[in-house]
Chain A
Amino acid sequence: MKNITKVVIGALSGLVLTVGMSVPASAHTGVQTWVIDKSKTASVVNRGQVIAQCSVGTSGSTCTISSGKTATRTINYTLGMARALVASSLGISSAETVSISTSCTSPVMSAGQVWKAYPVGDRWSYRIHKRTTTYSNQGVVQSTKNEYSGRLNAFNPYSAGIHCQL
């Protein structure tokens, strides 16, 4: 009799605990990111990246910069969105560098003048939108959180694009 009582009391206790406590159901989180507010400016000279420069050693001579050098493809990203995904959204390669094969010759230069070469390419401006959604175990949306980055930039050099100037 005592044993049966113990069992019943134990079972009833378990039931109370089950009903009284808020046992959280298993939750799932989904994250989505988008590149939004995109705009492109073509044929931008990136003066922040000097490919090479030349100061004449002979006054009255010219200087030619012949580039087989690589230029850097800049793609800024944040909010956990991968660089490759940002690149794909912009429709450009995600490779870090671009080989540039071209040359430019200066006009006749004097001592002290410097001939500089810069990459030319497309400049992109955009923002990243991140949505985090939490679902219950039954797939019901429990919460949604939206985050937005500030303005971000990307620079995509042309393979035959070089701008030279004094």
Chain B
Amino acid sequence: MSSHASRTTALGVFAVVAGFTLAGCSPGQPANGCSSDLASYVDQSLQVISDCIHEGSVLIIQDASPRVAELPSYIDSVGLRGNWRVVNACARDNVLDEETIIEVAVIPIDHEMSEADFVDAVVCDW
């Protein structure tokens, strides 16, 4: 391959990679700007992780309200998930952008993670 062809090929590869990077697409990351790091969803509202999981995934929600001295009251409604704070999370195979099972523990959004220990709030029994 001539040096001119080599430079052209290299520039083309660079352009493609730059294009993908600007578009927010990187290997191993879910689409729509969602993080693939499960820990990043802890201490966020349930709506955030709910918007990022694969539509075919099962979402298991443990209401950990007793840990902050509240009675469990979680009722599943997509529009109300913003009223709950994720205090722990796990996912089978640790993937979010594929159909899988994700388990989260939640408390009411007006409570803080500093109020209790939530290390064992999820069981991840799969």
Contacts and interface: CB of A to CB of B under 8 A. Distances in A.
A58 B64 contact: yes
A63 B56 contact: no
A128 B65 CA distance: 55
A22 B76 CA distance: 78
A103 interface: yes
Given A64-B74, A66-B76, A105-B76, A57 B60 contact: no
Contact of A63 (B55, B62, B101): B62
B66 interface: yes
Given A99-B56, A105-B75, A64 B61 contact: yes
A78 interface: no
Contacts of B76: 64, 66, 103, 105
Given A61-B72, A62-B72, A69 B56 contact: yes
Contacts of A55: 123, 125
Given A52-B60, A63-B61, A105 B125 contact: no
Interface residues of B, number: 29
Interface residues of A, number: 26
B7 interface: no
Contact of B72 (A51, A53, A60, A117): A60
Contacts of A68: 54-59
Contacts of B64: 57-58, 61
Interface string B88-106: 1000000000010101010
Given A54-B103, A68-B59, 20 more contacts: A52-B60, A54-B123, A55-B123, A55-B125, A56-B62, A57-B122, A58-B63, A58-B121, A60-B66, A62-B62, A63-B60, A63-B62, A63-B63, A64-B60, A66-B61, A66-B76, A68-B56, A68-B58, A69-B58, A99-B56
